[in-house]
Structure 1
Amino acid sequence: MKHKFLKLALCFGIIAFNSCSSDDDASGPISIVIEGAEVTPDVGGSNEENQVYIDLSTNTSTAVQRDSWDLGFYSGSDFRVGINGSIYMATAELSTTDIDAITSSTAEVQELQPQVAIGTFDADNMEFIDAPYGQITETAIEAISSIDSENPVYLVNLGYEVGTEEAATGSVAVAGDARGWKKIRVLLDGNDYVLQYADLDDTTHQEVTISKNSAYNFTFFSFNTESEVSVEPEKTDWDLNFTVFTNEIEGYGSYGYSDFVVTNTKGGAVSYKIDTETEAYTYEDFTLTDALSITFDNDQRNIGSTWRVGGGPSSSPALIDTVFYIVNDTAGNYYKLQFIAMYSDDGERGHPKFVYSLLQ
């Protein structure tokens, strides 16, 4: 058994007398049911204001407001910068390296602005978002070069603030006010990133150095605070992220999805969907031996929105009760996981609930 799960077992053993501590800003131990553990991530109701990171082996969750960050600077061997798809950000490369020369009146900017957005129903707009399946080499911002002249300016659509309006029953209101635009350019200084950024009509720019931290997938930066911000737990300390997500509708380009679950493939976790209507398994009887026969892949969307149907003009989204999932976590443990709710008792969307058990 892996170290983190041993720690969890000790916590459960003393739960009647003490609570388990953590250095992260996380919730306490979750309740135990007959099948294993039951989890209700604090997504935030119909505005789905939070991204919630779940660590299965320690039964902890970490919630972060979706619009608290803008850019993620990759800590792996590649020099890549991601954008915040949970608030529908998008970005386009410009034909200049002079950030101070770009304004809202620049012809190239005016031509691009209607295109650099989510949900335009244009298949070509996929170039303006990070690859939804999670491949780090397919970010909208190209790899950052050590040669300054090879790093262009980017036009950045900052997406939307978290919504605050009350949604109709069964619906969501995830997008609030538009956040506007920025222009950025990213350079390298040795193993560090150098971010240049400004409002579109500024004739000077700000500059900040951002270092890699190998304990994390990314170092995050916020334009609101003009500083690095804490978002994800360490890369080995989370497996799933409940979030609003920018995905793809094949043939129609980028599109926003609520009630989405991302697997931490960059940190080493993988997941797999079991459909009991097409495969001869049940959640109750699924074993570790069954899990060891699975061929996993690295698509971070393998859970995604596949646990629910999307609804339509005359129906609300609904749970799919014929699927469950296998997760091989960042510590190498295997779990089976099944969703049991997506609404609160009052019918408000944005209240997912799932059960899971360690396979051993």
Structure 2
Amino acid sequence: MCLEFLNKTYCHHLKTKVMKIFNTTLFVFLFMLLVTPAKNAAGQEYTRDTLVMGQGYANDLFYSFANGLVKEEPRKNWDIAFYTPRFSAGIMINQGAGVILYTYPNGDTNAWATVDTNGLSTWKSMNNSVNIWEEGAFNANQSIHPDYGWCIYNGITHDLIGDSLYVIKIADGSVKKLWMIDKISIQNIYHFKYANIDGSDEQIVEFNLVPYETKNFAYYSLVNNAELDREPLSGAWDLLFTKYMDSVPDMEGNMQLYPITGAANNVGIGASHFYPVGPDFTEWGLKPFVDEKNIIGANWKYFDNSTFTYNMVDSTCYFVKDTADNVYKLKFVYFDYMNGSLALDKMLVSLSAIDDNVAEVPSMNIYPVPATNMITIRFNNKVTDNSQLAIYDLNGRNVFSQSISGTSLNNGATVSVNLPAGLYIAKVTAGQAVYSQKLLVR
């Protein structure tokens, strides 16, 4: 929901990203065409992680494929959250804690003193977007620019001016009236106020989001009248295991919003779902990654009414591109609703490029691509030291080592590797310098 005056900046950024994606996609295309299922012989294995949310799914779990559990936070310790980019209007509510938001239908901001809840049961509640983090419940009524739901964009100052009143049921069950007054976009500061319906216990808040700009959201508790720093750094996690609202089919197949417990992708994290597939399936390049938060969701499990347990959906798996652009295969093993525990198996199936921004003429070339039992390594920069070649599989195991003279590297050193088909990382240490490159073996 970026504002229009930033479009040119974003277009330039997009163009740069497209070129990067093209180079990565070309490599993936060759990999998918030429590598057979035997690539698992390169030593790829599952790693199992067990996570516990607690009874009633009491805790949110921020999870990283590379590092496991990153942070655990009480699920009900916040009511509203602000998307941290300066030129965003995104504000979401904690639907997993039972927070419900209504747009007050009987007046605009001039009616603050006279807000009542007559007819509340007939009012339509506002919901967070099921697939876009930035589009929260406060943005649900947005139409077209400059209307962003709770506010109108000022094209001169670039500020956001609140034009609506809200009634909100918060995490402790109490009901408040709330007015998002404005956002000073350049300073990344929100002003809002809330009170009991009768006007008592009014709180006027200036919320500076600058300290939270390395996170996706800045959180606020209307119960405790306090801001919260509850997220890890944006790039430190991949999935959030939590309770939230998602679209699920009813008995007649119609999609309805319903509270579910599952996995939400971090902002910008792409995932894909494959079903039905065999247990050794790793052809992740057959589908594009989609960076929507509910791609994984809760559809990997179903409740068995005869045993009162959750079973895992058979023949299904996910692939996730993490914050470092590594690709993991994800399979869920079990889910126990009694204590909110779950287990997942993960497998690293593709490493990100060592450096996607290298110059057009790299320091080291390895060919042919793909390789078979023989590879040639050639340096473009003159090497005088004897060097060491080490090849690693996707699990980081050293599967091949050999010393190579610097002179032969300058002219092109041919090495017999005899590795199983798969994707590897070749590293050459020459003196104090270390050179790395992907190695594809057919």
Do the two structures share a fold, i.e. TM-score over 0.5? yes
Q: Which amino acid aligns with 2:76?
A: D
Structure 1 residue 320, shift from structure 2 partner: 1.7
Q: Return the structure number with greater relative CO, CA threshold 8 A, min gap 6.
A: 1
CA contact (8 A) 2:328 2:346 kept: yes
In the alignment, which residue of structure 1 is the partner of 2:184?
A: 189
In the alignment, which residue of structure 1 is the partner of 2:168?
A: 156
In the alignment, which residue of structure 2 is the partner of 1:131?
A: 129
CA contact (8 A) 1:78 1:143 kept: no
In structure 1, the gaps of 5 or more residues are 1-33, 117-124, 162-178
In the alignment, which residue of structure 2 is the partner of 1:256?
A: 259
The structure richer in strand per residue is 2
In the alignment, which residue of structure 1 is the partner of 2:310?
A: 317
Q: Which amino acid aligns with 2:327?
A: Y
Higher deviation after alignment, 228-237 or 186-195: 186-195
Identical columns (%): 19
* Aligned partner of 1:284 among 271, 280, 286: 280
Alpha-carbon distance in structure 2 between the residues aligned to 1:149 and 1:238: 33
The within-5 A match list for 1:205-220 is 205-212=202-209, 213-220=212-219
Structure 1 residue 252, shift from structure 2 partner: 6.5
Q: Deviations over 1:227-272 (max 9, x none)?
A: 11122211111111111111234547432123x11111x2x11211
Structure 1 residue 42, shift from structure 2 partner: 2.2
Quick one: structure 1 residues 334 and 81, their matched pair in 2 at CA, closer, same or farther if it must change by over 3 Å? same
Alpha-carbon distance in structure 2 between the residues aligned to 1:252 and 1:291: 28
Q: Deviations over 1:250-300 (max 9, x none)?
A: 547432123x11111x2x11211121x3xxx434341xxx22332122321
Alpha-carbon distance in structure 2 between the residues aligned to 1:91 and 1:313: 36
Q: Deviations over 1:142-197 (max 9, x none)?
A: 253356765211111225x5xxxxxxxxxxxxxxxxx1211111122343111211
CA contact (8 A) 2:272 2:319 kept: yes
Q: Deviations over 1:74-104 (max 9, x none)?
A: 112312211012112221212321474144x
The within-5 A match list for 1:262-341 is 262-264=264-266, 266=267, 268-275=268-275, 277=276, 281-286=277-282, 290-312=283-305, 315-341=308-334
Aligned to 1:82, what secondary structure does the other structure show? Answer: strand
In the alignment, which residue of structure 1 is the partner of 2:239?
A: 240
How large is the Cα RMSD of the aligned pairs?
A: 2.6
CA contact (8 A) 2:195 2:202 kept: yes
Q: Which amino acid aligns with 1:274?
A: F
Aligned to 1:86, what secondary structure does the other structure show? Answer: helix
Alpha-carbon distance in structure 2 between the residues aligned to 1:305 and 1:74: 24
Alpha-carbon distance in structure 2 between the residues aligned to 1:52 and 1:317: 20
Are 2:348 and 1:355 equivalent residues in the alignment? no
TM-score normalised by the chain length of structure 2? 0.58
Please list every run of at least 4 consecutive aligned residues from structure 1 whose deviation after the TM superposition is greater than 6 angstroms. none
TM-score normalised by the chain length of structure 1? 0.71
Q: Deviations over 1:36-65 (max 9, x none)?
A: 3221122103x1101111011222331111
In structure 2, the gaps of 5 or more residues are 1-43, 140-148, 155-159, 351-442
Aligned to 2:284, what secondary structure does the other structure show? Answer: helix
CA contact (8 A) 2:52 2:339 kept: no
Q: How many residues align?
A: 282
Quick one: structure 1 residues 314 and 210, their matched pair in 2 at CA, closer, same or farther if it must change by over 3 Å? same
Q: Which amino acid aligns with 2:72?
A: A
Are 2:60 and 1:57 equivalent residues in the alignment? no
In the alignment, which residue of structure 1 is the partner of 2:393?
A: none
Alpha-carbon distance in structure 2 between the residues aligned to 1:102 and 1:249: 38
Alpha-carbon distance in structure 2 between the residues aligned to 1:78 and 1:225: 25
Q: Which amino acid aligns with 1:85?
A: Q
Alpha-carbon distance in structure 1 between the residues aligned to 2:343 and 2:133: 28
Alpha-carbon distance in structure 1 between the residues aligned to 2:258 and 2:281: 37
Q: Which amino acid aligns with 1:284?
A: D
Alpha-carbon distance in structure 1 between the residues aligned to 2:111 and 2:51: 41
In the alignment, which residue of structure 1 is the partner of 2:91?
A: 81
The within-5 A match list for 1:61-72 is 61-72=70-81
Q: Which amino acid aligns with 1:189?
A: I
Q: Which amino acid aligns with 1:55?
A: S
* Aligned partner of 1:44 among 40, 54, 60: 54
Alpha-carbon distance in structure 2 between the residues aligned to 1:75 and 1:149: 17
Alpha-carbon distance in structure 2 between the residues aligned to 1:82 and 1:70: 9
Alpha-carbon distance in structure 2 between the residues aligned to 1:99 and 1:184: 11
Alpha-carbon distance in structure 2 between the residues aligned to 1:60 and 1:307: 20
Q: Which amino acid aligns with 2:258?
A: Y
* Aligned partner of 1:114 among 104, 114, 121: 121
CA contact (8 A) 1:52 1:242 kept: yes
Q: Which amino acid aligns with 1:139?
A: A
Structure 1 residue 221, shift from structure 2 partner: 0.5
Higher deviation after alignment, 306-315 or 201-210: 306-315
CA contact (8 A) 1:88 1:246 kept: no
